[in-house]
Structure 1
C-alpha cells in the first residue's frame, strides 16, 4: 500500500467504512446479488426492501454500493435514472415520519442529577468505591453530554490529555475531528462552570476519584471498581443514560437516547433566547437544516418551556 492509498483510507471515517462494508455484504450475501451490479439489479434490490427498510437506510446502501463500484473502477449503477426513479417511488409509496430521540428537558436533567447525588451520598456512607465510581462517571457523562450537546461518539472520544480545566471558571475539551469537521482541523469546545448542574465539578469529581491522568475520559468499570484503560463503547452511552433516567423514575425512559442530550440542550437554548446562529456555533453545526432537526417548534401554550430560565453563565 503506497502513501496515496493510505491517505485515501484515512480520509474515510471509520463508521462510514463500516457502513459501506455492511451495504455490500447485505447486497451480496443477504439479497444474493452479484458484483459488479447492473442498474436493473440495484433497482430490484431496492424494490425488495422498499417496504421494510427506511429511505435513509436504502440511501446508505446505495452509497456503499456506489463506493464499491468506484473503488473497483466500474461504472456506478446507482446513478442510473431507473434507480433514482425507484427510490422516489418508494419514498412516495411508503412515507415515514422521521424518528427522533425524545429531548431531555432541563427539569428532567435536574431531577436525574438530584437522584444521582442522593445515590452518591449513599455510596459514600456505605464506603462502596465501585458504586461511587460508576455514579460519578454517570453524572459527569450526563452533565457534560447535555451542556455541550455532544454526540455519543464524541463523548467516548474525549481524552483527559486534551482537557484544560480551571476549577470554578470552566474547561475546554479538544476533539481532533468531529462529524462537522470535514477538514480535520480539530475543534475546541468551551464549557463554563455553572451555579447549578455544573459539568466542571462533575468532571473533576470523576477524574479525581478515578485518578485519570491520560487516555479516555469515560470508561467502563467492573464490579470490583477497576477502571478500564479503554473508552466506553459508543453503543453503551444510550443504555447508561436510560438506566440513569429509569433510576429516577422518569416516565418512558426507554424512549431516550444519547441524542436526547443534544436535542434537550438545543431546545433549552432556543427557549432561553439563543438565536440559531449562536446555537449552531456552540454545537458545531455547519448548516441550518442540521440544527433545525434537533429543535422542536415551540408551543406557545407549553408552560414547562416558559418556566425554564437560562443558567448557562459562569460562576
Structure 2
C-alpha cells in the first residue's frame, strides 16, 4: 500500500469502512445490482427491501452506495429525485419506532459487579486462570463503560499506550479518533477513581493480571488463559454483555446492548442532578438531540408534574373516590 493509499484508508473509521463494504456487497452480490448503478436500479433496490430492512439500514445502504460512486468518480445516483421520493414513501408506509437499548440501572451494575467479584474469587481459588482473566476483564469493561459512558467501539479500541493513570485520582483515556471528532483532533476522557465500583481500580487490576504493556487494552481470552494479540471486535461486546448479564441473573438480558452502559450512566447522572450541559461535556455529545436520545426523565410519563399543577380539591376528590 502506497503512502497515498494509507492516508486515504486512514480517513475513514474501520467500522464505517466495514459496514459500507458490506452494504455495497449486498447491493451487488446478494441483490444482483450492477456498479456503477443507475437511479432506477437504486430505487428498485429500495423498493425490494422496504419490508425487510429498517429505515436506518436503508439509509446506511444509500450512504454506502453514494460513497462508492463518489470515490470511483461516478455521479451519485442516490441523490436523484426518484430515489429520494421512494425513500420518503417507504418512511410513510413502513414507519418504525426506533429501538433503544435498555439502560443498565445502578442496582443492576452493583449486582453484576458483585457476581463478577465472587466469580473472580472462585476462579482464583480453583486455579482456573482463563476464567479469572475473563471475569477481571469483564469487570473492567463493565465499570469503565458505565462510568465514562463509552460507546462499544471506544471500549474495544482503547489502547494501553494512550491511558495515563494517576494513583488515587483517576486516569485519562486518549482516542486519536472518535465518532464525534470530525476534525480528527483526538479526544481525552477523564475517568474518576471512586471509593466503590471503581473503574480505575478495575482497569488497573486487569492490565496487571494480563501483563499487558502496550497495544489494545481489552482482548480475547481462550480457555487456557492465553490472550489474543488484537483488541476485541466491536461486534463481540453485545454477546459478551448479554452472556454476563445472564450469568449474573439480570432480567431480560437480550434487551441490553453496548449502549446500555452509556444510557445507564446518562440516566443515573440526570436523576442525580447533572445539568444537560455538564452531561454532554462529560460524555462527549455535540448536540442536545443526541443527548436526549439517551436520557429518560425521572418522571417519564410526567404524572407528577401534571398532578402537582392540578387543583387540590380535584386530587382530594379523586382520592376519596378511590377508597373502598
Mapped to 1, the partners of 2:166 and 2:154 lie a distance apart of 21
Higher mean alpha-carbon deviation, 123-132 vs 286-295, is at 123-132
The CA distance in 1 between the partners of 2:203 and 2:68, in whole Å, is 43
Give the CA deviation at 1:4: 5.1
1:1-315 counterparts in 2 under 5 A? Answer: 6-299=6-299
Question: Could you report, residue by residue, the CA deviation over 1:103-157 in whole angstroms, capped at 9, with x for unpaired residues?
Answer: 1011100010011111122223223322221111111111011111111111111
- Bigger mean CA deviation after superposition, 188-197 or 237-246: 237-246
Structure 2, unmatched stretches of 5+, are 303-324
Which digits, 9 at most, give the CA deviation of each residue in 1:160-211, with x for residues without a partner? 1111112221111111111011111111111111111111111111111111
Contact 1:280 1:286 (8 Å CA) reproduced: yes
SS at match of 1:53: coil
Determine if contact 1:167/1:201 at 8 Å carries over to the other structure.
Answer: no
Please tell me whether Structure 1 or Structure 2 has the larger radius of gyration of its CA atoms: 2
**Which moved further from structure 2: 100-109 or 5-14?**
5-14
Answer yes or no: is the 8 Å Cα contact 1:217–1:231 preserved in 2: yes
- C-alpha separation in 2, matches of 1:75 and 1:300: 47
Deviates more, 1:7-16 or 1:185-194: 7-16
In structure 2, relative to structure 1, the CA distance for the partners of 1:221 and 1:178 (3 Å cut) is same
RMSD: 1.8
Aligned to 2:306: none
Separation (CA, whole Å) in 2 of partners of 1:35 and 1:4:
25
Cα distance, 1:223–1:52 mapped onto 2, change above 3 Å:
same
- Structure 1's unaligned 5+ residue stretches are 303-315
Paired residue secondary structure (1:197): coil
- Cα shift at 1:5: 5.1
Of stretches 212-221 and 258-267 in structure 1, the one that deviates more from structure 2 is: 212-221
Distance 1:131 1:18 in 2: 31
Distance in 1 between the 2:74 and 2:131 partners? Answer: 56
- 3-state SS of paired residue (1:127): coil
Distance 1:281 1:291 in 2: 10
- Runs (4 or more) in structure 1 with deviation over 4 Å come to 1-6
Aligned length: 302
